[in-house]
Amino acid sequence: MNSVKRVAIIGAGPSGMAALRAFKSAEKSGSEIPEVVCYEKQDDWGGQWNFTWRTGTDGYGEPVHSSMYRNLWSNGPKEALEFAEYTFDEHFNRPISSYPPREVLWDYINGRAVQSGVKELVRFAHVVRRVEFDDETEQFTVTVDDLREHVTSTEVFDEVIVSTGHFSFPNVPDIAGIETFPGEVIHAHEFRGAERFAGQRLLLVGGSYSAEDIGIQSHKMGARHVTMSYRSRPQGFAWPDGVDERPQIDRIDGGVATFIDGSSGEFDAIILCTGYLHHYPFLPEHLHLRSPNNLYPGGLYRGVTWQANPHLHYLGAQDQWFTFNMFDAQAWYVRDLILGRAQLPSADERAAHMRQWADRYRGVEDDAAAVRFQADYIRDLIEQTDYPMFDLDEVVRIFLEWKADKKRNILTYRDQVYPSVMTGTMAAVHHTRWIDELDDSRERYLESQPTADRVTS
Ligand SMILES: Cc1cc2nc3c(=O)[nH]c(=O)nc-3n(C[C@H](O)[C@H](O)[C@H](O)COP(=O)(O)OP(=O)(O)OC[C@H]3O[C@@H](n4cnc5c(N)ncnc54)[C@H](O)[C@@H]3O)c2cc1C
Ligand SMILES: NC(=O)c1ccc[n+]([C@@H]2O[C@H](COP(=O)([O-])OP(=O)(O)OC[C@H]3O[C@@H](n4cnc5c(N)ncnc54)[C@H](OP(=O)(O)O)[C@@H]3O)[C@@H](O)[C@H]2O)c1
């Protein structure tokens, strides 16, 4: 091992858990590893997947982290996010469907982390307030509040891994006249369930995953009408009756929204599905990543290591086609840099590498090219480490099939199944179609013989 003695991981969501697993796996294979401390501001791990009913602030008065809602199911096939060294077969011991609800995915990531025996490395209910770097000692001072004991402490680290996610601080645009709207206006971050919008006319601002999924969830739960307003381009799905798309909002006058094509409509509630900010309130500006939600954020060598200070690393800072297995690839690489198993090139070489990938990213023109870009990015990382390489081209194929399934029918794509890239196991057709399923619990999902009154053909 090189001379690194202490590593701080900030956040124990899927990215931070990947980092913990990466160090543990090096230790299990006989390597000496540094002292690792992971700070997690919530009482449990899982990040976004650690669902909360709360909005606004949590029980400690801290900003609520998770943007997930009660009835959220995976919006991409699980075969695209499967860990290469902890498969769904290993965890569930039988095939499950391709689009599990969030409790089931939490169970999966929790199972792997528990198996790694890393929970004692996490200081739960500890929020990182400040990270400072001393140029002379080349060390970080990390200031942390223990939210239960009300104690502030500082500790010194040689390397810092930021894994706090980037879908928690809402991007809230201003819209002309919105202050005159008499109904409720919330951001997707505060959306917890669509039941209460039954019978209402909903206006969703945004043209990406949150708008799409909150839109069809609301339709499923009986909204009278759902309109999604896009800025750049329509999503273009074959929406069911009662769901439509309009271009950007020109202005709002009371309950009426007028769109830039001159059309208008009356609405009962507005949900801003306008995305999130990369926001790291504990970092000074010179260490703070600022980026739109894209596949190759500037300033990060190999998408992870801060070019201006390579002792600082970010996991999961990209927009995400791939998720859990991409976080693994990143975590394994960062671990190997820290262990000295991978060599950090000179600043000039890093800059040239970043330019090359940024140029390639500029040439990405459609979704298929974007998925391939992220697959190649992950391949490049895995090639530097001992993380098991998997068939990334097959994952790309599954992603493209997923997109085609969505185009065919946005209400049935979650009923489709794909084979595991890791084990070849074909996913099981779920006992109930997604559109008919009103119980999203893990228990209900894992029932092999659901009660007859719930099953629809
Ligand atoms: C609504 C929504 C739905 C999604 N659905 C899917 C899906 O279906 N499939 C999929 O693969 N991905 C989905 N994602 C993507 C999701 O971002 C990833 O799956 C994953 O959760 C990202 O992991 P992460 O660890 O990088 O960040 P997060 O999951 O956000 O975890 C970050 C962790 O850092 C902690 N933290 C933050 N600040 C501090 C601090 N100052 N001090 C200490 N701890 C801190 C947080 O409490 C949290 O536990 C979804 C995202 C959203 C927002
Ligand atoms: N499992 C699930 O079912 C599920 C559900 C919801 C979300 N998610 C995940 O959550 C993450 C975030 O998705 P997201 O949709 O919230 O964010 P996003 O993908 O970053 O999209 C943000 C959207 O907001 C629009 N927007 C931003 N500023 C705007 C403005 N001023 N006026 C109008 N529109 C504006 C953007 O338009 P432009 O295109 O013009 O920039 C874009 O369409 C993704 O990883 C997604 O997969 C998953």
pTM recorded for the entire structure: 0.97
Residues 301, 368 share a domain: yes
Per residue in 411-437, is it b (16+ CB within 10 Å) or e — as a string? bebbbbbbebbbeeeebeebbbebbeb
Whether 2 has a pLDDT exceeding 80, the answer reads no
Is position 314 within any domain?
Answer: yes
Across the range 205-209, mean pLDDT stands at 98
Query: Can you give the three-state secondary structure of 282-295, one letter per residue?
Result: CCCHHHCCCCCCCC
Q: Percent of the chain scored above 70 by pLDDT?
A: 97
What residues make up the domain containing 214?
A: 178-272
Residues 220, 78 share a domain: no
Is position 422 within any domain?
Answer: no
Evaluate: CB of 303 within 6 angstroms of ligand 1. no
Is position 15 within any domain?
Answer: yes
Whether 4 has a pLDDT exceeding 80, the answer reads no
Structure tokens of 129? Answer: 């307030």
Give helix 14-28 / helix 324-339 axis angle, nearest 10°: 50
The secondary structure of residue 63, as a DSSP letter, is B
Residues 235, 295 share a domain: no
Report pLDDT for 93. Answer: 96
Q: Among 72, 274, 411, which is best to mutate for testing ligand 2, by the most ligand atoms less than 8 A from CB?
A: 274
Instruction: Report the mean per-residue pLDDT for the chain.
Output: 96
Whether 49 has a pLDDT exceeding 60, the answer reads yes
Residues 361, 341 share a domain: yes
Evaluate: CB of 14 within 6 angstroms of ligand 1. yes
Residues 146, 248 share a domain: no
Across the range 381-410, mean pLDDT stands at 98
Report pLDDT for 448. Answer: 72
Evaluate: CB of 68 within 6 angstroms of ligand 1. yes
Q: Which pLDDT tens digit goes with each residue over 235-284?
A: 999 999 999 999 999 999 999 999 999 999 999 999 999 999 999 999 99
Whether 386 has a pLDDT exceeding 90, the answer reads yes
Is position 268 within any domain?
Answer: yes
Residues 200, 146 share a domain: no
CA of 171 from ligand 2 middle (Å) equals: 10
CA of 197 from ligand 1 middle (Å) equals: 26
Pocket of ligand 2 (CB under 6 A): 72, 74-75, 167, 171, 173, 188, 205-210, 213, 231-232, 273-275, 293, 320
Q: Which pLDDT tens digit goes with each residue over 312-336?
A: 999 999 999 999 999 999 999 999 9
Residues 319, 218 share a domain: no
Evaluate: CB of 373 within 6 angstroms of ligand 1. no
Q: Which pLDDT tens digit goes with each residue over 83-119?
A: 999 999 999 999 999 999 999 999 999 999 999 999 9
CA of 377 from ligand 1 middle (Å) equals: 20
Residues 250, 114 share a domain: no
Q: Counting atoms of ligand 2 from 1, which one is nearest the CA of 173? A: 31
Residues 201, 304 share a domain: no
Q: Among 45, 66, 164, 325, which is best to mutate for testing ligand 1, by the most ligand atoms less than 8 A from CB?
A: 164
Top-confidence residue, 38 or 450: 38
Is position 445 within any domain?
Answer: no
Query: Which residue, of 254, 272, 290, is where some domain finishes?
Result: 272
Q: Closest Cα to atom 32, ligand 2: which residue?
A: 231
Evaluate: CB of 297 within 6 angstroms of ligand 1. no
Is position 115 within any domain?
Answer: yes
User: How far is the C-alpha of 96 from the C-alpha of 107, rounded, in Å?
Assistant: 13
Q: Which pLDDT tens digit goes with each residue over 169-188?
A: 999 999 999 999 999 999 99
CA of 335 from ligand 2 middle (Å) equals: 31
Query: Which residue, of 364, 379, 397, is where some domain finishes?
Result: 397
CA distances in angstroms from 383 to 10, 14, 320, 322, 340, listed in the order given: 26, 21, 20, 17, 16
Evaluate: CB of 8 within 6 angstroms of ligand 1. no
Report pLDDT for 456. Answer: 42
Query: Which residue, of 219, 237, 272, is where some domain finishes?
Result: 272
Per residue in 47-85, is it b (16+ CB within 10 Å) or e — as a string? bbbbbeeeeeebeeeeebbbbbbbbbbbebbbbbbbbbb
Is position 432 within any domain?
Answer: no
Report pLDDT for 3. Answer: 61
Is position 456 within any domain?
Answer: no
User: How far is the C-alpha of 245 from the C-alpha of 229, rounded, in Å?
Assistant: 6
User: How far is the C-alpha of 412 from the C-alpha of 406, rounded, in Å?
Assistant: 8
Residues 151, 21 share a domain: yes
Residues 258, 293 share a domain: no
Q: Counting atoms of ligand 2 from 1, which one is nearest the CA of 292? A: 20
How many domains, the chain?
A: 2
Q: Which pLDDT tens digit goes with each residue over 411-433?
A: 999 999 999 999 999 999 999 99
Residues 289, 245 share a domain: no
What is the CATH classification number for the domain harbouring 134?
Answer: 3.50.50.60
Q: Among 38, 45, 48, which is best to mutate for testing ligand 1, by the most ligand atoms less than 8 A from CB?
A: 48
Q: Counting atoms of ligand 2 from 1, which one is nearest the CA of 69? A: 5
Q: Which pLDDT tens digit goes with each residue over 18-36?
A: 999 999 999 999 999 999 9
